[in-house]
Amino acid sequence: MTLTLWPKAVVFDLDGTLIESLPDIQLATNRTLADFGLDPLDDKTTRGFVGKGSRHLLTKALLHYGKVPEDEEIDFAYLQFLHHYSNAPAESGYVFPGVEDTLRTLADAGHVLAVCTNKPHEPTIQVLEAYGIADFFGIIVGGDDVENRKPHPDHLLETTRRLKLDKTDVVFVGDSENDIQASVAADIRSVLLTYGYSLLPHDSLGADVMIDTFPDVIGAIDTIATARL
């Protein structure tokens, strides 16, 4: 496929899109639960709680054990989670196959690359640096950089503002309902990766293109660009 001059920027989700972060998120979550004297979560349960930010994950985890947390407990859990996660941001996860080569191809073709993730800003930087892909991204907008995170459209629209681009010049690549719901609400073209953390049927989300592997992002952009003509 031949890359077009459109879009000017490609924005990516992080967890479940660029990296398989669930093992490290689960590790930090379970270490936080241990601070509360609670048992660890299994893979399936953790997967069902991710995608809406760390506070949501921790709230769901505590509720899972029948504990209705007060705001102060969530604040404490959040700080503990950040501590545990920052100590092991890339211990067990990995970059999905083809990510680095695809990002390089997009960047070399002149596309600006950015990240829009519900993960807090500083852990996002740590993770991208740990996996050696931070330099690809000029703009990174974490969940704590905005008042309303995905699936709210403001998160994605703020990313386009920081890119100094119109939303019509951007394509968003994500893996979950939070990503696609945000892009649909923001009226931004989207690509859905089917291997990620979506809890809803992929074909119900309304993405412009669905793909199964990361290198397919290039062809997906061509498909969307051609449809615009």
E-state strands within the chain: 9-12, 19-20, 94-95, 112-116, 139-141, 170-174, 189-193, 209-211
Cα–Cα distance measured from residue 89 to residue 193, given in angstroms and rounded to the nearest whole number: 23
Peptide bond before 123: cis, by omega within 30 degrees of 0?
no
Catalytic residue among 13, 24, 175, 179: 13
Q: Residue 198 carries which side chain, given as an amino acid letter?
A: S
Judging by beta carbons within 10 Å of its beta carbon (0-12, 13-18, 19+), is residue 71 exposed, middle or buried? exposed
What are the φ and ψ backbone dihedral angles of 185, each rounded to 5 degrees? -65, -30
Cα–Cα distance measured from residue 87 to residue 71, given in angstroms and rounded to the nearest whole number: 24
Give the number of other CB atoms < 10 A from CB of residue 119. Answer: 25
Peptide bond before 40: cis, by omega within 30 degrees of 0?
no
Q: Catalytic: 13?
A: yes
Residues assigned a catalytic role: 13
